[in-house]
Structure 1
């Protein structure tokens, strides 16, 4: 199938690289492939994603509705053609009626928005009583429904309720609800999704059920979120932890709860009783493109829970937007009613997808939180000891023993000087908890609502003590600690090769952490089910990690990678590796040599000279906060310090872990706006290296000092590299390669992973400067390793195309930089 529109209905005149991007994406979806697309920030990536995907979506629907007179190579007879024609005409009529209804809703909504209506506040009364927090008798102990890594986040009762509240495809007396093919779009945060929604509002598409291009059809879109994002009941949303919110929500729905205590916003569990309200919500939700806050506001206006009601819109929606975790967790997808099968999945900002998967499935808990969880659970047991019987008593005792085992392990490592791996057996065997079965404990916690009960009792105690405690005596305590521990227990159920437990040295105390090492298993089911999967980002290079870690099972023909150029002219970017300084000192910022005082002073001289020829703002990225602080301390020393020389040309600003980024950026920008030069010292992987624009005058020069390789002595890093090497070794052995060859390839895979992780962070940082077509900047890569083909090969295409070839003297570099900026005046 070829695109129906040459420009993919782009609202502006697309650049050539945007057209190429959209053509590749369209073909990927049509062919059912997995594609990784890199398009630099500032090239209109979001609009290109939307236009290509939605053009294919409408083209595909038109193809399926109208089709050809050929189906599977066989001509349709006149009866089949007539039946198809009648079906299409009926659908067209239904769609026209829907569009007219949605148009009326849009006009009404605009009028209502102009009235500045205020949502009615719901009074929070004292509905949580002490007796409500006692555990019900728990008898389920047959172990027949073991939780697995794909379904453990929600209890069986939760899933049953959600299934009951989902609109069925066949409702008595109604026609079947149409379930359209969808584009499922996800990004890291709701704020990023809100930006995507703003771009989505710019698109006008012709109707899929009409041959007339002027017949537009509104894009049917719904923003999905968790209860934490969408709950409008203040009795529930005021709770701190997500687990407590989920469990309190379900508690208010129990059959035995009095009508006064039930959630007044929840649709009736008998769907037909609330069909009219849900249909109204659905129509209002899809009448125009709305973000997650709009959906929550709609629920408040209609006094209808948007978390549950939003799933009534899913069958008719064309585009779903949701954050990473709701896509990556199978149980979350099932609970929301999101079906990946045969739909198109687009992951934006996918440069950190593997780490996002690991973060979603990893969990950590500091010692103080473990101790507080133990204290809260012991206090709860003391209060309700006469009402804890049978399985409740058995399982709570096991949870307490497991908590004590974790605490004792951290206490035993109180004097450790480096992070360490903690074998899972040490946790299980310690304190005699080897008979504990984690899957039964997790099931018990979910079914009994233990987290909500214990946290609810802790809140009651806090409220009672608050009245008798002065403000100066009050101490802020962490919330949701038992929910944190529940997540740790879930991690105990994961297959041991997938991840490891670690004891880490935190800022103030030791931390117990479970870290996922293998992201493949948690993304493979999405790839297997979806029609096509698109990973897109401004900085995806280097890309070999994705094929090695996420898609090793795919045939090469099913995985396509593309790195597109920039919309700016090549002459607007100057990229130079600097292997030596002005006086010939070699720049070698490896771990062994980066403390060299002479090299650090040489770096200061280079930056001072570049400050003299660079207008406006300059940004220098260092490998870490510690190294930036080390360099800055040397530059500040002495009477005629390097800092004083640099300050005579540009006012320096310095990022640190505790700095307020908003204030720092404001002062930096204000200095430049006043016509003074400014120098920002930042950190790769820090707050200023991602999501911050140093466009135009804010970043005329970007310098990257050294390569920010992770700490190779870190226990987590060692475990990750060992896992990669071991996996590569086993694959090579399966291919029948020799022992020596397998070991060689395994070591090469470990080095490749380290290089890729490092260069992806570098690419993300140096891409901060060029943000639009007319922008320009010079980029200097300060380290002799940047001059090697191995490292240069991992730069994005648009940077490699602007890379200066050959070694130049410092004077030539300085002259070229001056000429570059002189030509832009």
Structure 2
């Protein structure tokens, strides 16, 4: 259907629209007109995604001279696929009404694990290993060696993409990760889909990717640094965006991290000795470059860049590296002292909390490493790994974590705390010390996004209390609205259970939820409900970390199987954590 909102013709791909969807679009248009940020809450299941896409794409179509771009951020790959599928449907509808004038380029950008088509690289078991496998075939020094020795391993997809040069472009359309597949297009052309997608995000009208591409400085500084200011950024399902911001600037160090960092430093020391014997000029050239100041990452080939500095762009020092870490062997010695100091801090029997300032002073007193050297740790590590031509980056994640920690603790004096815990409170009898640099200020990570882009839309089915988010994220929305769901019938029937069938009080209160009688009553209630509910039942429990999973794929698979069970008529019970 087509309808007007003030001076905008909105193209909506369905025959009917909910009243709350229309109101949602009206408020969204107000924010776009004001070139400001907004908070919009609308219940799950009311068509929030298609309302956003319809209004923003129609807004751009009504202003053909506007360079407005849509950056749509989702939490998971599954949500990215759903968004691209909705956009595909909408784009087909707009093409039927407007013809070629409605053509756009829209794509989803995901990790190499989801976009790579090289069988040798895809054989790796996890994302970090896939990234390292790609680097082993595409790093500039690897390709230079392959040019001299045809038998050397290389990625034909990347080589053909490079040979195509400026002709390696995506034609207009909506490219998903499954249906209209970027990988299929890459295979047909013989081009690397991952680097093709990274190149095309600068020219696409709509880009769908995860929160980290904008909120995590290590990723955002590589992927999103050239995105234009005239962009609308949408954070969908943003009810926990403050947690994402905090996690982007938080680091945890455990005993495994310390042990792995020691192995990494030993390996790097061996590589340094090897280069001294075979190619000392490379180490001297790096030293001279560091005297003048660290080389800009933007000058590096895309295949050579690892991860960017964990600090925010405005907080990174633009000056020469301190003299005590310019030489490779001196830097390794500094890192050894830092690792030894952190190991000593983990040997505690009490929970400790410390400010970054006092922690940095303690590092100076006990390890002899000053604040400025800490700030440069991550960039110095990146430079050294480039010099040593290290490609198996998945083996060096531990020393990367140590340098992440050092750079952040040396950069930020406020909004952070160092917390040392000798054991997990759930298993106090098992020593498992952890040293955490905890970010308390969610506004730090998202501040560059608010300052850089024209409009930022934070939306979810649950943003209550909605007036809390501007304080958490430190911004002033031009629009802040909450919408309710319109129901045509009474379909919600809440029931509060206080006693079981044996009249025993039941509750999930801390002092009652472990009682066997309470557990038995909840189990009996679940069986009785399952015998009469024709479709699905969702159970939200109190937090049980031991049955949780951090694996997005596993979570998505469980949810998909639940939906399949409901769709085929068998029904299912979905257990989740509230």
Alignment of 1:45-64 (within 5 A): 45-61=48-64, 64=65
Deviation of 1:201 after TM superposition, in Å, equals 0.9
Identify the residue that residue 434 of structure 1 maps to in structure 2.
369
Give the drift of 1:447.
1.3
Of the three residues 436, 456, 468, the one matched with 1:533 is: 456
Q: Aligned-pair distance for 1:535?
A: 1.4
**Is 1:185 the counterpart of 2:72 in the alignment?**
yes
Q: Distance in 1 between matches of 2:133 and 2:355?
A: 33
Contact between 1:252 and 1:263, CA under 8 Å: does it hold in 2? no
Contact 1:364 1:511 (8 Å CA) reproduced: yes
Q: 2-side partners of 1:220 and 1:455: how far apart?
A: 33
Aligned pair 1:339/2:342, yes or no?
no
1:628-667 pair list within 5 angstroms: none
Note the C-alpha offset of 1:401: 1.5
Does residue 22 of the first structure (1) align with residue 21 of the second (2)? no
Equivalent-residue separation in structure 2 for 1:205 and 1:668 (angstroms): 27
Q: CA–CA distance in 1 between the matches of 2:388 and 2:15? A: 51
Report Cα offsets for 1:443-463 as digits up to 9, x if no partner.
Answer: 21111216985674x99xxxx
Q: Is contact 1:499–1:516 with CA below 8 Å preserved after alignment?
A: yes
After superposition, the Cα gap between the structure-2 partners of 1:547 and 1:658, relative to the gap in structure 1 and judged at 3 Å, is closer
- Asked if residue 561 in structure 1 is aligned to residue 480 in structure 2, the reply is yes
The Cα of 1:574 is off from its aligned counterpart by: 1.1
Alignment of 1:298-317 (within 5 A): 298-310=185-197, 312-314=199-201, 316-317=203-204
| Contact 1:3-1:26 at 8 Å conserved across structures | no
User: CA separation of 1:571/1:236 partners in 2, compared to 1, >3 Å: closer, same or farther?
Assistant: closer
Matched residue SS, 2:241: helix
Change (3 A) 1:582 1:548: farther
Distance 2:559 2:435 in 1: 33
* Worse-matched range after superposition: 331-340 or 368-377: 331-340
Classify 1:236/1:553 alpha carbon distance in 2 versus 1 (closer, same or farther; 3 Å). same
Q: Within 5 Å, which residues of 2 pair with 1:671-682? A: 682=575
- 2:443 equivalent to 1:520: yes
For 1:202 and 1:253, how far apart are their aligned partners in 2?
44
For 1:734-745, what aligned pairs fall within 5 Å after superposition?
A: none
Partner residue, 2:308 = none
CA apart distance, 1:587:
6.3
Matched, 1:194 2:81: yes
CA distance in 2, matches of 1:683, 1:207: 39
Q: CA deviation at 1:23?
A: 2.3
Question: Residues 668-725 of structure 1, C-alpha deviation per residue, up to 9 Å, x if partnerless?
Answer: 98699787x9766x3424xxxxxxxxxxxxxxxxxxxxxxxxxxxxxxxxxxxxxxxx
Give, in angstroms, the shift of residue 302 of structure 1.
2.8
For residues 624 and 362 of structure 1, the distance between their equivalents in structure 2, rounded to whole angstroms, comes to 22
SS of the equivalent of 2:414 reads: helix
Contact between 1:187 and 1:349, CA under 8 Å: does it hold in 2? yes
Q: How far apart in 1 are the matches of 2:177 and 2:128? A: 20
SS of the residue 1:540 aligns to: coil
**What is the distance in 2 between the residues matched to 1:674 and 1:247?**
47
Query: 1:361 maps to which residue?
Result: 249
Alpha-carbon offset, residue 55 of structure 1: 0.8
- Tell me if the contact between 1:438 and 1:492 (Cα under 8 Å) persists in the aligned partners: yes
Aligned to 1:443: 379
Of residues 392, 396, 401, the one that matches 2:332 is: 396
Q: How do 1:135-284 and structure 2 match up within 5 A?
A: 180-204=67-91, 213=98, 216-226=101-111, 229-230=114-115, 240-241=128-129, 244=132, 251-252=139-140, 257=145, 259=147, 260=149, 277-282=164-169
- SS of equivalent residue, structure 2 residue 30: helix
Counterpart of 2:305 in structure 1 is none
Closer, same or farther in 2 for the Cα pair 1:664/1:244, shift >3 Å? closer
Choose from 175, 178, 197 the match for 1:290.
175
Partner of 2:415: 498
- Equivalent position SS for 1:46: helix
Q: Deviation per CA, 1:516-547, whole angstroms, max 9, x where unpaired? A: 21120221221223221111222333323311
The verdict on how the C-alpha distance between 1:192 and 1:8 changes in structure 2, with shifts beyond 3 A counting, is same
Report which stretch shifted further, 660-669 or 368-377: 660-669
CA deviation after TM superposition for structure 1 residue 433, in Å: 3.7
Residue 429 of structure 1 and its aligned partner are, at CA, apart by 4.2
1:61-76 equivalences in 2 (<5 Å): 61=64, 64=65
Aligned to 2:472: 549
Corresponding residue SS for 1:421: strand
Partner of 1:510: 433
Other-structure match for 2:263: 375
Question: Which deviates more from structure 2 when the two are superposed, residues 421-430 or residues 600-609?
Answer: 600-609
What displacement does 1:435 show?
Answer: 3.4
2:41 counterpart residue number: 38
1:202-254 CA-to-partner distances (Å, cap 9, x unmatched) read 1147989xxx9566522221333455654556777759458756865774258
Query: Hey, what does 1:320 align to over in structure 2?
Result: 207
Distance across 1 between alignment mates of 2:472 and 2:263: 41
Name the SS of the counterpart of 1:565 in structure 2: coil
Which blocks of at least 5 consecutive residues in structure 2 are unaligned?
Answer: 277-282, 284-325
2:414 matches 1:482: no
Maintained 8 Å contact 1:197/1:290: yes
Q: Following TM superposition, by how much is the alpha carbon of 1:480 offset from its aligned partner in structure 2, in angstroms?
A: 3.4
Alignment partner, residue 540 of structure 2: 621
- The alignment partner of 1:286 has SS state of coil
CA contact (8 A) 1:34 1:533 kept: yes
- SS of 1:534 mapped into structure 2: strand
Offset, 1:289: 0.9
Give the whole-Å Cα distance in 2 for the aligned partners of 1:236 and 1:668: 32
- Structure 1 distance, partners of 2:93, 2:531, is 55
Give the total of aligned pairs: 504
Kept in 2: contact 1:221–1:320 (CA 8 A): yes
Contact 1:9 1:51 in 2 (8 A): yes
Shift of 1:510: 2.9
Given the alignment of the two structures, is residue 10 of structure 1 paired with residue 13 of structure 2, yes or no?
yes
- Taking the aligned partners of 1:213 and 1:674, their CA distance within structure 2 comes to 41
Alpha-carbon contact 1:248-1:452 (below 8 Å) kept: no
TM-score (norm 2): 0.72
Please give the secondary structure, in 1, of the residue aligned with 2:168. helix
CA distance in 1, matches of 2:183, 2:566: 40
Offset, 1:483? 3.1
State the 1:308 CA deviation: 4.0
Deviates more, 1:328-337 or 1:346-355: 328-337
SS at match of 2:343: helix
- What is aligned with 1:684? 577
**Equivalent residues of 2:71, 2:233 under 8 A apart:** yes
Q: Secondary structure at the residue paired with 1:364?
A: strand
CA deviation after TM superposition for structure 1 residue 331, in Å: 6.4
Is the CA contact (8 Å cut-off) linking 1:617 and 1:672 kept in structure 2? no
Matched-pair contact (CA < 8 Å) for 1:222–1:286:
no
* Helix, strand or coil at the partner of 1:346: strand
Partner Cα distance (1:369, 1:202) in 2: 47
SS in 2 for 1:574: coil
For 1:444 and 1:324, the matched residues in 2 are separated by: 27
Please give the alpha-carbon distance, in whole angstroms, between the structure 1 residues aligned to 2:353 and 2:244.
Answer: 22
Counterpart Cα distance in 2 of 1:531 and 1:449: 37
Cα distance in 1, alignment partners of residues 332 and 457 from structure 2: 45
- 1:317–1:548: structure 2 CA closer, same or farther, 3 Å change rule? same
SS in 2 for 1:480: helix
Cα deviation for residue 502 of structure 1 reads: 2.9
Deviation (angstroms), 1:298: 3.0
